[in-house]
Structure 1
Amino acid sequence: MHSKHSSQINETISWVGKWTFVLAAAGSAVGLGNIWGFPYKAGTEGGGAFVLIYLLCILAVGLPIMMAEIIIGRRARKSPVNAMKNAAIDSGKTSNWQVVGWSGLISGILILSFYSVIAGICLNYILISASPAADVSSVEQFGIVTSSSGRLLFWHSIFIALNILIISAGVVDGIERMVRLLMPMLFILMLVMVINAMINGDFARGLSFLFAPDFSQVDATTFLRAMGQAFFSLSLGMGSIMCYGSYMPQNENIFKTSLTVAGLDTLIAILAGLAIFPIIFAYGMEPGTGPGLVFVSLLSAFVDMPFGNIVGPAFFALLSIAALSSAISLLEPSVAYFEEEKIVSRFSAAMILGLFAWFIGIGSVLSFNDWSDISFIGNLNFLDSIDYLTNQFLMPLGGMMVAIFAGWFLKSNLALDELSSSHILIFKIWKFFIKFISPVLVAAVFVYQLVS
């Protein structure tokens, strides 16, 4: 059995660079939610206290599930559907576990459909912030952008086209090449923005907002929010990490690599907070205004700022890069499956699935204007409904099932084989968390989100 396993590896694609998996997985993990969501939640949920709880949640929930996804993906060297199926069969269980892989593929395409519309707005804002209209307030500007379905559709189409181009070029020539270019750019832009916040912002207040622990703000919901953020920010439960793990070279250490990805993801989120909040305080804005803050409040700050016409575009370029590095990981698992099953070529798969996501995304484009009053799930518009379906249902369910499978059904020697026998202690700790701690905590988040 083992010799078949190693001969099979030689035929499959794998990342060339040692750091590629880390960059690709961090790229997948760092998205629009990180750059805005994490700092905002940290600021409103007790600052440093939240950051501390978040780090604990990353270790208790995020890391074990991420390792489980990589173990299952790398062992099979297949897309999430077949990786789950193989892992189940090799463990003497039913192949029905592949349903977990399917739910990942579906949530990836659904998330991409609305994510692309918001990322399109970021692309549009690179131009808008370079030469803001003097007589238009930033609130009016956002209204102008979102009320035109034609404009939103144009940028949504551009963003999806970029995804199709990168994915169709292949794992090494497309994804690897892009993440090795995009992620260093993301870091450099991030540092530029932090320096800008030091010069033009109220940096001391930003620091205390993010890091001064206020335990009076901490209650049970803080733990649940931190746990949700830890789970979602590592992009677990949607097949991306499992798929990227299947390209990970056999000699790479899964534990160390996962730890690095979690660390990078958190670092970027904290840097984002240091880049954004000092500016918000210096210009007397409210940190709790949610996602609109990025497009409305920050744009007006860039207009008033020295060199704002350079800093502004740099910031929206940063957001667009973060969005693109996440988006390619949403499309890749489905494309990998189509290619592996020889349904169509990689290029055709990228085109078909990309256009499918583009088509569903039209509903999200219209949610900002023509369909803004139409409810789909409960009283939610189309975009919010798809967001609700993926974030509150499919992803936590997927993550929970991966944890249950890896903890209770996956044969221990298969996991130990991937984690390499030298780390027997790490294996034992991982096994304990993935069996008893992670599934219970994800279930708690799942129930909390449904109830709230």
Structure 2
Amino acid sequence: MENKRETLSSRLGFILLSAGCAIGLGNVWRFPFITGKNGGAGFVLIYLIFLVLLGLPVMAMEFAIGRGSKQNIALSLKTLERKGSKWHLYGPLAVIGNYVLLMFYTTIAGWIFYYFISAAKGEFNNITAEGVNTFFSALVANPTKQITWMVAVVVISMSVVAIGLKNGVEKITKYIMLALLFIMLLLTIHSLTLPGTAEGLKFYLIPNFKSMKEIGFSTILYEALGQAFFTLSVGIGAMSIFGSYIDDERSLGGESARIIALDTFVAITAGLIIFPACFSYGVSVGQGPSLLFITLPNIFSKMTGGRIWASLFFLFMSFAALSTIIAVCENIISYWIDVKHYSRTKACVVNTILLIVLSLPCILGFNVLSSIQPFGEGSNILDLEDFIVSNLLLPFGSLLFILFCTRSSGWGFENALKEINKGKGLKISNLLRFYLSYIIPIIVLFIMIKGIWDKLF
């Protein structure tokens, strides 16, 4: 029995959903600490250039694969490929990529939910730096607490998807995204009124070529390239699914530009919240991953009204994480509906149980299974899962999508460009054929090889 394919009810829904998928912890957690580590404004400028040069065409191609096939990623390559070719073999691997992403993303989202509740209860009031450190260590050492919050995240996300595409995923993500943008605005205004924020803004908005030279231009270029690439969630079909739900009214280059602009606005605004606060309270901006769970609660504990601002910040983070998880869950469920012919409800029930079980290794990697250290001393199962998605599947999938769209053995450049340029809006020129066919694949291959090399050696 074939299921009638659902569609999105509005263009705004498509833009907010796609942006919600792209806007996640990469923007509001990774972007500020990578920017801090790489000297601030100069890094931001290079990052923005790479977003346009690399992110926009790759995103447009992934959307085109979805819209051209009207299928989820497991079937879309098979639908569009030349007869007898093997491009479709990546389809199931892309679906696995969505699962691996959620295997650790649900755990981190659970931590953020827990932090939001803790902040609202005033648990960070007047806490010392050591106290915050102990708070986080106690959380990751406690599997029961982590599992409880991970289960809450999975159940909430899957419940939204179970309601349906229009009334659940589209409608609720719209509210989540609008709430996220409103809370960001409040937090930014507050951050800009803190004493001593001028230094933070100077670091963030005015390039310092001397510090860039000290860090090394090649390091900054690679980090900016990597961040521009990873922030958009391209490569595992999480974007193409929303392309499959929309009509031909608008060009995909124009829609990609709008989604990237919204994604970038959130990342830049996250920096406006975090950097003035760090400078105001004399905290190092290059703190790394601990910035979110250890550094920021410490800053909020010293602020006037810190309880309110900490609660709002972690609520905003919860929304950012949730928007990505709902989008990726929708991609998984569409696979079960289209390929396995399950009803939406049945697919959601099965996958709720499946995701809870699959998320356990990440949680246990911090306690019961902490002896498993895949990358040596101090690494854990989360690092391995993140490596599989970020360094292997996202770049490999993106490379495959680019080659599929530009090679005659795949979909072919003319077909892909025709699909991208259908409708009103920004068109991608045929003159970019060499750049899209050869330069971008080399850049993506470089990101992939360097990422693997750095992690393993």
Using structure 1 for the length normalisation, give the TM-score: 0.92
Q: 1:122 to 1:95 in 2, by over 3 A?
A: same
Q: Does 1:36 find its partner at 2:36?
A: no
- For residue 358 of structure 1, the aligned residue among 339, 353, 356 is 356
104-113 vs 375-384, greater mean Cα deviation? 375-384
The equivalent residue for 1:167 is 161
Q: Does 1:128 find its partner at 2:118?
A: yes
The equivalent residue for 1:117 is 107
Residue 296 of structure 1 aligns to a residue in which SS?
Answer: helix
The equivalent residue for 2:443 is 441
127-136 vs 67-76, greater mean Cα deviation? 127-136
375-384 vs 236-245, greater mean Cα deviation? 375-384
Residues 132 and 303, structure 1, Cα contact 8 Å, conserved in 2: no
The equivalent residue for 1:3 is none
Residues 50 and 218, structure 1, Cα contact 8 Å, conserved in 2: no
Residues 64 and 430, structure 1, Cα contact 8 Å, conserved in 2: no
**What is the CA–CA distance in structure 2 between the aligned matches of 1:348 and 1:268, rounded to whole Å?**
35
- For residue 17 of structure 1, the aligned residue among 10, 14, 38 is 10
The equivalent residue for 1:105 is 95
**What is the CA–CA distance in structure 2 between the aligned matches of 1:394 and 1:301, rounded to whole Å?**
36
Residues 66 and 241, structure 2, Cα contact 8 Å, conserved in 1: yes
Amino acid at match of 2:364: L
**What is the CA–CA distance in structure 2 between the aligned matches of 1:186 and 1:87, rounded to whole Å?**
37
Residues 404 and 434, structure 1, Cα contact 8 Å, conserved in 2: no
**What is the CA–CA distance in structure 2 between the aligned matches of 1:411 and 1:388, rounded to whole Å?**
31
C-alpha RMSD of the superposition: 2.1
The equivalent residue for 2:147 is 153
> Structure 1 residue 375: deviation in Å?
2.3
Q: 1:104 to 1:271 in 2, by over 3 A?
A: same
- For residue 50 of structure 1, the aligned residue among 30, 43, 52 is 43
Q: 1:323 to 1:201 in 2, by over 3 A?
A: farther
> Structure 1 residue 381: deviation in Å?
1.7
**What is the CA–CA distance in structure 1 between the aligned matches of 2:134 and 2:290, rounded to whole Å?**
12
Residues 37 and 287, structure 2, Cα contact 8 Å, conserved in 1: no
In structure 1, list runs of 5 or more residues that go unmatched. 1-7
User: Can you list the C-alpha shifts for 1:373-396, whole angstroms capped at 9, x where unaligned?
Assistant: 322465542111111111111111
User: Can you list the C-alpha shifts for 1:395-452, whole angstroms capped at 9, x where unaligned?
Assistant: 1111111111111132344224321288896241553432122211110100111111
Using structure 2 for the length normalisation, give the TM-score: 0.91
Q: 1:138 to 1:16 in 2, by over 3 A?
A: same
State the percentage of identical aligned residues.
Answer: 31
Amino acid at match of 2:134: E
**What is the CA–CA distance in structure 2 between the aligned matches of 1:95 and 1:355, rounded to whole Å?**
35
Residues 139 and 145, structure 2, Cα contact 8 Å, conserved in 1: yes
The equivalent residue for 1:417 is 418
Q: 1:37 to 1:127 in 2, by over 3 A?
A: same
Structure with the largest fraction of helix: 1
Amino acid at match of 1:414: N
Matches of residues 276-315 of structure 1 in structure 2 within 5 Å?
Answer: 276-315=274-313
**What is the CA–CA distance in structure 2 between the aligned matches of 1:20 and 1:432, rounded to whole Å?**
34
Residues 42 and 207, structure 2, Cα contact 8 Å, conserved in 1: yes
User: Can you list the C-alpha shifts for 1:202-223, whole angstroms capped at 9, x where unaligned?
Assistant: 3212212222213313422322
Aligned length: 441
In structure 2, list runs of 5 or more residues that go unmatched. none
Amino acid at match of 1:205: E
Amino acid at match of 2:61: A
User: Can you list the C-alpha shifts for 1:225-260, whole angstroms capped at 9, x where unaligned?
Assistant: 211111110100111111111112221221111001
